[in-house]
Amino acid sequence: MYERRRMWANAYLQDKFCAGFRTTSRCEGVNAFVKKFSKTTHTILELVQNLELVVREYRNKELLLHLNSMNSVPVMTTGLTSIEQHAASVYTREVFTDVKKQIVQTVALILISKKRCLNTMVYTVEEYEQPATRIKVAYGRSTGKIHYQCNFWRKNGYPCRHMFFVMKSEHVTTIPDALVLQRWRLNVKSIESYVERWAGTSEAGFLLRHGALHTASHRLFLIGAQKLSLFRKALNGVLTLCRELELEYRAFDNGGGKGR
């Protein structure tokens, strides 16, 4: 079993994170994690313990990415400002980065023909430098529905460059709602559910908060260790904050709080 650790570790993690819905890039992220830790463990027990750590670390990272999406505004760069802005407002930051690549890639598409059949526009496009591959995309002007030939959507769950090309050609300024899957949506509710879990008084609540703080501190460690002056500032800041927290914690404890 230990000999095959790479295989089952992958299955274990992908089931936790990917479960048939995550993108390939997400799975690659998990693979990189597995590679890193399966080299440094020697027993099954260590391995299982490490797997749990990996899971926690991964969740924390995801949570912080999510918080980042909520609190920062990206710079628009594609030139298709309306649609890009809309994408930034509906997708989590992580997915938006991938979506943006598809918007950018519309420049490499060449329009071959555009035919109208009642209210449906059928676009035929080819890729720059690949004149042999032709893709048809249909756009329903009254329904806003897009029908497409390529597999990208099924695989990734967000619109491909062909769809964006058609949206651009039709002067569409927002991505049709049906094309923004719930699982990639930047939504406030999921943050609230995290906060609810953070607020838990159980051991699980403690672990979640502990893990989130741990992950949030990585940047502090990284920057704080660069130079002596930064190190001093970071260390003083941490000590000051710890004193403040201790005071509050003690007041809470004396006031009949449960400690956690």
Summarize as ranges the residues that interact with Zn ion (CB under 5 A).
150, 152, 160, 162
> Rg of the Cα trace of the chain?
24
Q: Give min distance, CB of 156 to Zn ion, in A.
A: 10
Amino acid at 239: L
Q: Give min distance, CB of 101 to Zn ion, in A.
A: 13
3-state secondary structure (DSSP) of residue 121? strand
Q: Give min distance, CB of 124 to Zn ion, in A.
A: 13
Query: Is 138 or 150 the residue whose CB approaches Zn ion more closely?
Result: 150
- Please tell me the chain's helix, strand, coil percentages from 3-state DSSP, rounded to the nearest 5: 60, 15, 25
Nearest partner of 140 among 178, 84, 186, 108, judged by Cα: 178
How far is residue 174's CA from residue 83's CA, in Å, rounded to a whole number?
5
Query: Is 109 or 212 the residue whose CB approaches Zn ion more closely?
Result: 109
Cα–Cα distances (Å) from 240 to 9, 179, 196, 243, 254, in that order, read 41, 48, 28, 5, 21
Phi, psi (rounded to 5 degrees) for 117? -130, 105
Q: Give min distance, CB of 177 to Zn ion, in A.
A: 19
Copy the structure tokens of residue 13: 């993690």
Q: Give min distance, CB of 105 to Zn ion, in A.
A: 10
Copy the structure tokens of residue 90: 């509906």
Query: Is 100 or 162 the residue whose CB approaches Zn ion more closely?
Result: 162
How far is residue 250's CA from residue 240's CA, in Å, rounded to a whole number?
16
Q: Give min distance, CB of 120 to Zn ion, in A.
A: 17
Query: Is 157 or 200 the residue whose CB approaches Zn ion more closely?
Result: 157
